Amino acid sequence: MTKPSRFPVRLGRRLKSLCLAATLLSTCSLLAGSRSPNLLEQIKLQGTLEFLSSNGPATVYEGAEDAAGFEYELIKRFCLRLGVRPIITVRPDTAAILQELQHRPQAIAAGEIVVTAQLATQADFGPAYSNAGTLVISHKGSAPIGSLLGLVGRKILVKAGSPQADFLQAQQKDTPSLQWQALDLDMQDLQERVHTGRADVALIDRASFESYKALYTQAQVDYEIEPHNPIAWGFAKQPDHSLRDAAREFFDELLSNGELARLRDSFTDDPIEPDADVAAFNRDAEQRLPRWEAMLKQVAAETDLDWRTLAAIGYQESHWDAQATSETGVRGFMMLTNAAAKAMDVSNRLDAKQSIQGGAKLLRFLLDRLPTEMPAEDKLPLALVAYNLGSGHLDDARELARKMGKNTNSWADVKTILPLLSKPSVYRNLRHGYARGRGAVAYADTITTNIALLALREQEAERMQLANGASNPIAAPPGDMSPQITNALRDLALANAF
């Protein structure tokens, strides 16, 4: 049985003050009357609220410095609203979550749960904050499927115990020839089997398809099955609905002000491939970078880093916007989280110099924790992965590489392992769980490419100085530049020569 993990979440001074205020107000109101506190008041008095969730891209996972995930952001916001601290217990799947919920009347099941008629007998559910559409997917090039009858005679896969399996079971009454195989696999694995041709068709949820369509390019959508199943938080069946009512008010507000949609978009917008818009980067380097160049060079000198590395990270994080703020609360030039800022002694994330200093100190720390025997050209991209994902996920990838007989000190080897960190069959057995490994590879590759572009810009500027009669020689690329950067410089120089 999978051992539950717990995420004690510290939300800072604001949360502490909210907790204190809520406790005092609740205590005073109860002292003034003789009634027993309802469920919501009990939770406010104790100052904590437990959530039962799962580890994954749509729920809760370990980020670079703190917990992350769409459900986690909802949990955090709801607890701020109530003035309590969240305690998150991670269970392997919906069945385990709802089983646990029966014994925890003060907890909330927040595991991206798709509500079915069967699940509604096990728990009460709050308002739907999203809908799970079911897609029929097939391998590209196969005959199109436009209806349920088109599934007859195909090798169909579904996840065992899923709403998709329930749907086919219900349809078989009218279509007895409909056959399928229900496997104890995750929907990503089903998508991969269609992509590789090991299955003709799979029924999966839209969220899974959207998350991995850039990876499994040979899987295509044929049609979407109606109606959609709601996604909602679950509550223990009991006569006291005060906690569920508070959640209903919370989601009504998020829906009405558009915050829920913006938050969802911030987690679905996860580009897989590096940004190859060289023209846009060069334009921004011309127009925005000069304002920050001296500051970047000063901080780089203080931390023994290449200033172009800091500049490239800053561009990837905020496009050199010192006031940038994301929907999840990361802010500033280097887009630091609260946890990272605190660890790096940054008191104001919107102060550009403090932000650059914080990002530089963090990168310096991540570089220094890598093995001394690791080749210099491999250290930077691996440290960038840790900067993006967290050092724990990099450790997982390197350990997985070791078990697979690969070189743990080689970027070329480890980058082939990182995408596996998003596969359920793999991350469930890792110490730090799910991570967007493929996105981290793109992150590191994009930054190293932009470092090369900045180096090329410097060389071009110095060449122009010589052409105008300046006496300074052209600076050679730094001796510790990785082959990837050197090759990029060579290719860009050749491209610009014609």
Q: Provide DSSP, 257-304.
A: TTHHHHHHHHHH----S----HHHHHHHHHHTTHHHHHHHHHHHHHHT
- Please report the pLDDT score of residue 117 as a whole number: 85
SS3 425: helix
- The tokens describing 297, both together, are 């060079």
What total of structural domains would you count in the chain? 3
3-class secondary structure, 239: coil
pLDDT of residue 397: 97
Residue type, 190: L
Distance CA 474, CA 454 (A): 15
Phi-psi sector, 47: left (phi>0), alpha (psi -120 to 50), beta? left
Instruction: Return d(Cα 305, Cα 300) in angstroms, integer.
Output: 5
**Confidence (pLDDT) at 131:** 87
Cα-based distances in Å from 225 to 137, 217, 220, 368, 474: 11, 21, 15, 52, 63
Tokens of 319: 């496009």
Give the burial string for 370-399 (b: 16+ CB within 10 Å, else e).
beeebeebbbbbbbbbbbbbbbbbbbbbbe
Domain match, 194 and 263 both: no
Q: Are 50 and 107 in contact (CB under 8 A)?
A: yes
Would 488 be classed as within a structural domain?
A: no
Which among 119, 136, 56, 116 is positioned nearest to 88, based on CA atoms? 56
Name the token pair of 277: 């818009």
Whether 453 maps to a domain, the answer reads no
pLDDT confidence of residue 33:
55
Cα 176 to its chain centre, rounded Å, is 42
Would you state the pLDDT for residue 475?
40
Neighbours of 416 (CB within 10 A): 15
Q: Is the pTM of this model over 0.85?
A: no
Pairing relation of β-strands 219-231 and 130-139?
Answer: antiparallel
- Contact by Cβ (8 Å): 370, 377: no
Residue 276 has a pLDDT of 53
Bridge-based pairing of strands 130-139 and 201-205 is antiparallel
Name 114's bridge partners: 231
Distance CA 8, CA 32 (A): 33
Q: Which residues constitute the domain of residue 40?
A: 5-129+233-268
The reported pLDDT for the residue numbered 495 is 40
Active-site residue (options: 41, 65, 71, 317): 317
Q: What is d(CA 209, CA 279) in angstroms, rounded to the nearest whole number?
A: 31
Say what the pLDDT of residue 108 is. 98
Is residue 143 domain-shared with residue 94, that is, in the same domain? no
Q: Are 329 and 350 within one domain?
A: yes
> Quick check: 200 and 153 in contact, CB under 8 A?
no
pLDDT for residue 469: 63
Nearest CA to 142 out of 224, 225, 223, 219 is that of: 219
Q: What is the CATH number of the domain that holds 302?
A: 1.10.530.10
Please check whether residues 305 and 367 belong to one and the same domain. yes
Distances (CA, A) of 245 to 22, 248, 249: 17, 5, 6
Q: How far is CA 86 from CA 9, 17, 91, 105, 462, in A?
A: 6, 15, 16, 15, 56
Q: For the chain, list residues with pLDDT below 70.
A: 1-34, 227, 268-276, 469-498
Assess whether 176 and 196 both reside in one domain.
yes
HSE, CB side, 13 Å, CA atoms: give it for residue 473.
3
Give domain status of residue 259, yes or no. Answer: yes
What tokens were used for 195? Answer: 């992509």
**Domain contains 438:** yes
Whether 32 and 93 share a structural domain: yes
Cα angle 27, 30, 32 (rounded to 5 degrees) comes to 110
Residue after which a domain boundary falls, among 404, 420, 447: 447
Which residues share a beta bridge with 382? none
* 293 and 435, same domain (yes or no): yes
| Contact predicate 350/322, CB 8 Å | yes
Residue 257 lies in a domain: yes
Omega prior to 227 cis, within 30 of 0: yes
- 347 & 199 share domain: no
Residues 6+ apart with CB under 8 A from 450: 281, 311, 312, 315, 316
| DSSP state for residue 162 in the 8-state scheme | S
Instruction: Answer whether 51's CB lies under 8 Å from 108's CB.
Output: yes
456 and 489 in contact (C-beta within 8 Å)? yes
Same domain membership, residue 291 and residue 211:
no
Query: Do residues 80 and 147 share a domain?
Result: no
The verdict on 284 and 256 lying in the same domain is no
459: in domain: no
In the residue annotation, 62 being an active-site residue is answered as no
What are the residue ranges of helices labelled H in 390-436? 391-403, 411-417, 424-427
Residues 161 and 61 in one domain: no
